[in-house]
Chain A
Amino acid sequence: MRSKACFSGVLLLALVAPGRAQAPHVVSIEPAAPFKARRGGEVEVPLRLMIRGGYHINSSKPAEDYLIPTLLTWAEAPLPARGITYPKAESVKYDFSAKPLLVYSGTVAVVSRFQVPPGTAPGEVHLAGKLRYQACNDKACLPPRTLDVSVSVNVE
Chain B
Amino acid sequence: MNRHLLIAAALLAGLAACSSSRAAKDASKASDTSAEAKGLQAAPDFSLPDPNGKVVRLSDFKGKVVLLDFWATWCGPCKIEVPWFIEFQRKYKDQGFTVLGVSMDEGGWSEVRPFLDQMKMNYPVLLGNDDMTAPFGGIEVLPTTLIIDKQGRIFVMHKGLTSKDEFENAIKGLL
A98: shortest Cβ distance to chain B, in Å? 9
Of the residues A54, A64, A143, contact of B72 by C-beta under 8 Å: A143
Docked CA distance A144–B23 (Å): 14
A44-102 residues at the B interface, CB under 8 angstroms:
52, 54-55, 64, 66-68, 94-97, 101
Q: Among the interface residues A24, A64, A94, A143, which one has the most CB atoms of the partner chain B within 10 A?
A: A143
B130: shortest Cβ distance to chain A, in Å? 5
Does B160 lie within 8 Å of A139, measured CB to CB? yes
**Using Cβ atoms and an 8 Å threshold, which residues of chain B touch A143?**
72, 104, 140, 142
Does B74 lie within 8 Å of A140, measured CB to CB? no
B1-37 residues at the A interface, CB under 8 angstroms:
20-21, 23-24, 26-30
**Using Cβ atoms and an 8 Å threshold, which residues of chain A touch B76?**
64, 67, 94, 96-97, 101, 136, 141
B159 at the interface (CB under 8 A from A): yes
**Using Cβ atoms and an 8 Å threshold, which residues of chain B touch A67?**
74, 76
Interface residue total, chain B, C-beta cutoff 8 A:
33
A136: shortest Cβ distance to chain B, in Å? 6
A3-45 residues at the B interface, CB under 8 angstroms:
20-24, 26
Does B138 lie within 8 Å of A144, measured CB to CB? no
B26: shortest Cβ distance to chain A, in Å? 7
B18: shortest Cβ distance to chain A, in Å? 12
B56-101 residues at the A interface, CB under 8 angstroms:
72-80
**Using Cβ atoms and an 8 Å threshold, which residues of chain A touch B72?**
141, 143
A125 at the interface (CB under 8 A from B): no
Does A21 lie within 8 Å of B77, measured CB to CB? no
Query: Please, which residue of chain A has its CB at the minimum distance from the CB of B104?
Result: A143
Does B24 lie within 8 Å of A141, measured CB to CB? no
Interface bin, chain A: 20 to 34
Query: Please, which residue of chain B has its CB at the minimum distance from the CB of A26?
Result: B24
A105 at the interface (CB under 8 A from B): no
Query: Please, which residue of chain A has its CB at the minimum distance from the CB of B138?
Result: A21
Docked CA distance A6–B27 (Å): 47
B71: shortest Cβ distance to chain A, in Å? 9
**Using Cβ atoms and an 8 Å threshold, which residues of chain A touch B133?**
21
The chain B residues found within 8 Å of chain A, CB to CB, are: 20-21, 23-24, 26-30, 72-80, 104, 106, 115, 130, 133-134, 138-143, 159-161
Known A23-B23, A141-B76; 15 more pairs at CB < 8 Å: A21-B133, A21-B139, A22-B140, A67-B74, A67-B76, A96-B80, A97-B76, A101-B76, A136-B76, A140-B26, A140-B143, A141-B72, A141-B74, A141-B78, A144-B74
